[in-house]
Amino acid sequence: MNKPIIEVLDRNCRLPPPVWLMRQAGRYLPEYRAVRERAGDFLKLCLTPKLAAEVTLQPVRRFGLDAAILFADILLVPYALGQEVWFVEGEGPRLDPITDAGRLEQLKRRIDHSRLRPVYEAIAEVKDRLSSSVALLGFCGAPWTVATYMVAGMGSADQSSARLFAYRDPQTFAALIDLLVSSSVEYLTGQFEAGVDAVQIFDTWAGVLPPQELERWCLEPTGRIIAGVRAKAPGAKIIGFPRGIGTGIARYATDLPLDAVGLDWTADLDFVREQVQRRRPVQGNLDPLALVAGGAALDNAIANILDKLSQGPFIFNLGHGILPQTPIAHVEQMLKRIRG
């Protein structure tokens, strides 16, 4: 049976477009909250294959989405490199920060696959239980985005720690990025071997970089990941999501041989149609707050996206992760609107 998402990644146009939602396995679902409570710790949930597989499948089961995306976290890569990672309830991730070359030296030279085995097992488990028309997606964070957490030791509003590190000591920062490139290649290759149909590279913080830094810390390393993964897994399908990249989306789409480009909710869709969708399938880009709001605002936003993008190869998605306060009825309203 065909998987609509893979058809679009093969540059076909599907009407209605296939749909999945970033962070679709999440706190807005009561069944997720139940499993999350059972697991206790967030990291433990990611690293317990049965539970990770279960929450991965929940939104597909409930909504009939066209993809399952593996429940995991972009910080599993630093974790597999030996950096200490933990999650503070209600606050977010914490890491023992990489503050200088000496701290970078203390990381492993490559990821410890034994630490990631639960992820690969979860993939195998989901694959067994997933309908053959639903794509299974893996993912990793882009090196720049992962580095912002590794350097700051937490999330931050403006990623200033990593930006400042990169300005002050570009050589050490480049070594960190290189380590993340090779690690991401291994990690994504491991995900393909375990059975994913495609992967997404999340560059959540691409938008804070000036163009020269964007080139050096985002575009160039992401290009090496794509090439590295495809060298080991020929034809591997890869989606890129450079949140907030602004005008840089044109170069991102031109320079990187991606199978689709993910759009955040601020993307100008006329610009995108001309500069991105002519070259690559696109994915996006409903404002997660429009999904929270529902009603006419939601209907209008969906209609606008379908109007601008559904004539070409297109996967419907949000422009960022679904928010915890999203009413389930609004997700249903959205799917009805998309599927007619």
Binds a second copy by CB under 8 A, chosen from 163, 237, 280, 330: 163
Name which of 115 and 273 has its Cβ closer to a second copy. Answer: 273
Binding mask 102-141 for a second copy (x = CB under 8 A): ----------------------------------------
Least CB distance to a second copy at residue 210 (A): 5
Name which of 16 and 170 has its Cβ closer to a second copy. Answer: 170
157 binds a second copy (CB under 8 A): yes
Contacts with a second copy in 254-313 (CB under 8 A)? 265-271, 287, 289-290, 292-293, 295, 297-298, 300-301, 304
Name which of 40 and 295 has its Cβ closer to a second copy. Answer: 295
Catalytic residue among 23, 163, 243, 280: 23
Catalytic residue among 14, 28, 32, 36: 36
244 binds a second copy (CB under 8 A): yes
CA of 134: how far to CAs of 126, 262, 314, in Å?
A: 11, 19, 16
Least CB distance to a second copy at residue 255 (A): 13
Name which of 191 and 277 has its Cβ closer to a second copy. Answer: 277
| 319 backbone dihedrals φ, ψ, rounded to 5° | -90, 0
Least CB distance to a second copy at residue 207 (A): 7
Pairing of strands 92-95, 85-88: antiparallel
Task: List, in order, residues 6 or more apart from 210 with CB less than 8 Å away.
Answer: none
Least CB distance to a second copy at residue 198 (A): 26
The span from the CA of 182 to the CA of 116, in Å, is: 15
Task: Decide if 38 is catalytic.
Answer: no
Find, among 179, 248, 181, the residue nearest to 208 by Cα.
248
Q: Under rule CB under 8 A, how many of the chain's residues touch a second copy?
A: 39
12 binds a second copy (CB under 8 A): no
Task: Decide if 32 is catalytic.
Answer: no
Residue 168, token pair as written in the block: 């002050």
Residue 186, token pair as written in the block: 């291994």
Catalytic residue among 32, 149, 187, 252: 149
Task: Decide if 259 is catalytic.
Answer: no
Binds a second copy by CB under 8 A, chosen from 45, 179, 245, 322: 245
Q: Where are the alpha helices (DSSP H) in the chain?
A: 4-9, 30-39, 42-46, 49-63, 76-80, 101-105, 113-129, 143-152, 160-168, 170-194, 211-214, 220-232, 249-255, 269-272, 288-293, 295-309, 328-339
SS3 147: helix
CA of 339: how far to CAs of 19, 22, 276, in Å?
A: 9, 18, 24
Binds a second copy by CB under 8 A, chosen from 164, 227, 231, 328: 164
Find, among 305, 291, 301, 303, the residue nearest to 333 by Cα.
291
Contacts with a second copy in 315-334 (CB under 8 A)? 319
Task: Decide if 36 is catalytic.
Answer: yes
CA of 116: how far to CAs of 49, 52, 112, 135, 292, in Å?
A: 10, 13, 7, 21, 34
Note the residues at the interface with a second copy (CB under 8 A).
157, 160, 163-164, 167-168, 170, 207-212, 214, 244-249, 265-271, 287, 289-290, 292-293, 295, 297-298, 300-301, 304, 319
State the catalytic residues: 23, 27, 36, 73, 149
